[in-house]
Structure 1
Amino acid sequence: MTKGANVANKVLRVFKMKRLAVYAHFGESPKVARYVSYFLKELRSLGFEICFVSNSPVSIESQSEISTLCQKFIQRENSGYDFSMWQAGLAEYDLSKLEELLLTNSSIVGPLQPLAPLWKNSSVNQCDFWGLTDNDEFGLHLQTYFMVFRRQVIQDARFMDFWRSVLPLKDKQQVIQNYEIGLTRRLEENGFKWKAVFAQKRMWSLFLRRRSFVKKIGDWYYNRGLPGRNTTTLLPDLLLQCGMPFLKAFAKRIGDWYYNRGFPGRNTTTLLPDLLLQCGMPFLKAALLREPHCHVSPKMAFELLEASSLPVEILEELRLKNNPA
């Protein structure tokens, strides 16, 4: 087990694989959650070498399990949030031969569907780095829970300069401003192009179109009673996007929220989880399972997971831990 990143006279790991994933973990229990192992197995199947970095104590039993999935395990003090964990992981490697780097963390549950299609998505073909979602709060940027960097970025000295500059900040908002927003901004200023697979602009456009459509359906139901159950005429948008109409109730509740209160923010991972999942988003934010976010209750979030391909034993563990009401 490696204690932190600053080990004197260490030999940097030479890659057998050309893809590295650095996974930043934080858990309330020493036992690593099953959804974490499930994600790591999927990354292994995609050919990633995995470096697991934890800012929280990990039990001997969980360390043993993690060691079967990851080439490197780092246990460190709880400081600096995800960026300090990624910094610690990257410091262990010689990146000169690396073709692709994935930075991700334990704030997301999944994958709820295969990850491989993400790399075939047309929106990420012509870019230097990409992620799943972007956010324009405090400045447009990629959200860092899942970011992929290609060789041209990794081999640029300014990329590693950024990581060497990371400090173990205690204020989370400072971390977001300096590093989450700062990373996208710095790379963009250096001429690198980025994309979000589920771009905010596209998701809100879909939502606004659906809001209008669902409101019409809702008005009909509320004013005249059930006019029939033909989904081909009542729910064509849902059928086309995901093949099933199970999110109709969520869409109506979302529409009510925005009609009555206006837009409370623009973070699609917490405001539009249902729409993201329908469009192919493979993860759900773990925070949604613990406490309400605007219109999305933990119960609603669990219903989304139940409709996915997530194994039953993982769902049961999440329910025991979070006890949704």
Structure 2
Amino acid sequence: MAHYDPTGALGPHVRRQVTALASWFDDLVVVSTADLREESRRWLAAHARLVERGNEGYDFYSYKVGLDSADLLDYDEVAICNDTYVLLRDYADLFADMAPRPADFWGLTMSNEIKPHVQSFFVLFREQALRSTAFADFWAGMEPISARHKVIRRYEVGMSRRLMDAGLVAAGHFVPTDADLRMARLRCRAFLLRRYGMPRDREGWRRLRDNPRQGRWNPTAGLADRALDQTRLPFAKIDVFRYDPYGLDAEKLLYLCEEAMPDAFAGVRDFLAATAASYPERRGSELRAIPRWLEPIGARLRYRAP
């Protein structure tokens, strides 16, 4: 598990996740790039094998450091994950759901953003993947890159592509319904409008309609409210509440989650406030206001309970 907190603390949702991981896995390694407070260090050391390192290379290099600290041939399955999500279901339930599904590696979600890939905030590798040359070569060739977009393309997307090109089968726990897919595409289309502005002519509308990015939406944001639908989406990403990347009223989503799942979301709002200064708005992520005449449609696309 990769951990980072700019305040050196452990958010309540992180402590709950560490406890859940430690109760399910035989061996838990937490690799932290934070300047840990002494209480946080003691707590982590009591619940996991703690490795501290410098803050470079994002989560993927923490994953590499954690994997390198163990003999992976001793294990039937190995998972990598980070601290960027609120877990809404027990790992026992998730593993039971995935047990009959034929996959060599799987995650909580798969995304079509950029290219189809397992999203790297939680990925489990089964024996076929662990013993593969592609898996070993991928981690052996990793370098600590500190540019976020490069890490996503080279390592998050690149890892899935490397394993899939070697014939390994990927899967995601969350399987969107047809209704989910329609909503996700509409939300992505609205996002493109707010990012790039309204088309000025018929040809512009045609390009918007045919834009391939409509099919490259991120399920952690595009369908974040499916966490409220009997936790079909079994987690909520912290960055959705922090950045509201699709402009779908993440504040309302947080309120609904707190009402529906108070135990899971205890302390999340305080964590967001305590760390907000270290997470300014991402450059180039600004969204334009929805035109007044489109507001009724925009309202129907915002996050809501089922």
Give the TM-score category using the shorter length.
0.7 to 0.9
Indicate which of 253, 264, 280 corresponds to 2:232: 280
3-state SS of paired residue (2:81): strand
2:12/2:267 contact within 8 Å kept = yes
- Per-residue deviation at 1:97? 1.5
Q: Distance in 2 between matches of 1:189 and 1:260?
A: 34
3-state SS of paired residue (1:31): coil
Q: Distance in 1 between matches of 2:165 and 2:272?
A: 44
Query: What residue number does 1:141 align with?
Result: 117
Whichever residue aligns with residue 310 of structure 1, its letter is D
Is 1:99 the equivalent of 2:51? no
Query: What residue number does 2:252 align with?
Result: 300
3-state SS of paired residue (2:47): coil
3-state SS of paired residue (2:72): coil
Query: What is the correspondence of 1:172-183 to structure 2 with a 5 Å cutoff?
Result: 172-183=148-159
Query: What residue number does 2:301 align with?
Result: none
3-state SS of paired residue (1:44): helix
- 1:93-121 alpha-carbon deviations (Å, 9 max, x no partner): 1111201111000111x222222221122
Indicate which of 128, 133, 136 corresponds to 1:160: 136
Query: What residue number does 1:314 align with?
Result: 267
The alignment yields a C-alpha RMSD, in angstroms, of 2.9
Whichever residue aligns with residue 83 of structure 1, its letter is F
Indicate which of 199, 207, 213 corresponds to 2:180: 207
Is 1:65 the equivalent of 2:43? yes
Query: What residue number does 1:268 align with?
Result: 219
Q: Distance in 2 between matches of 1:90 and 1:312?
A: 30
- Per-residue deviation at 1:32? 1.6
Q: Distance in 2 between matches of 1:165 and 1:254?
A: 37
Query: What residue number does 1:50 align with?
Result: 28
- Per-residue deviation at 1:311? 4.7
Query: What residue number does 1:215 align with?
Result: none
- Per-residue deviation at 1:47? 3.2
Whichever residue aligns with residue 197 of structure 1, its letter is H
Residues 312 and 142 of structure 1: CA distance in aligned 2, closer, same or farther (over 3 Å)? closer
3-state SS of paired residue (1:73): strand
2:11/2:268 contact within 8 Å kept = no
Q: Distance in 2 between matches of 1:56 and 1:98?
A: 28
> Any gaps of 5 or more consecutive residues in structure 1?
1-22, 212-252
Query: What residue number does 2:241 align with?
Result: 289
> Any gaps of 5 or more consecutive residues in structure 2?
195-207, 209-213, 277-306
1:289/1:322 contact within 8 Å kept = no
Q: Distance in 1 between matches of 2:191 and 2:179?
A: 14
1:123/1:197 contact within 8 Å kept = no
- Per-residue deviation at 1:61? 0.8
3-state SS of paired residue (1:266): coil
- 1:21-44 alpha-carbon deviations (Å, 9 max, x no partner): xx0111111112121110011112
3-state SS of paired residue (1:79): coil
- Per-residue deviation at 1:196? 0.8
How many residues were matched structurally? 256
1:128/1:193 contact within 8 Å kept = yes
3-state SS of paired residue (2:73): coil
1:123/1:195 contact within 8 Å kept = no
1:115/1:282 contact within 8 Å kept = no
1:112/1:310 contact within 8 Å kept = no
Residues 184 and 144 of structure 1: CA distance in aligned 2, closer, same or farther (over 3 Å)? same
Indicate which of 56, 63, 66 corresponds to 1:86: 63
Runs of 4+ off more than 4 Å: 208-211, 253-265
With normalisation by structure 2, the TM-score equals 0.75
With normalisation by structure 1, the TM-score equals 0.71
> Which protein is bigger by CA-based radius of gyration?
1
- Per-residue deviation at 1:124? 5.8
Q: Distance in 2 between matches of 1:91 and 1:275?
A: 36
Q: Distance in 2 between matches of 1:88 and 1:57?
A: 17
Q: Which has the higher contact order (CA 8 A, sep 6+)?
A: 2
Q: Distance in 2 between matches of 1:169 and 1:208?
A: 33
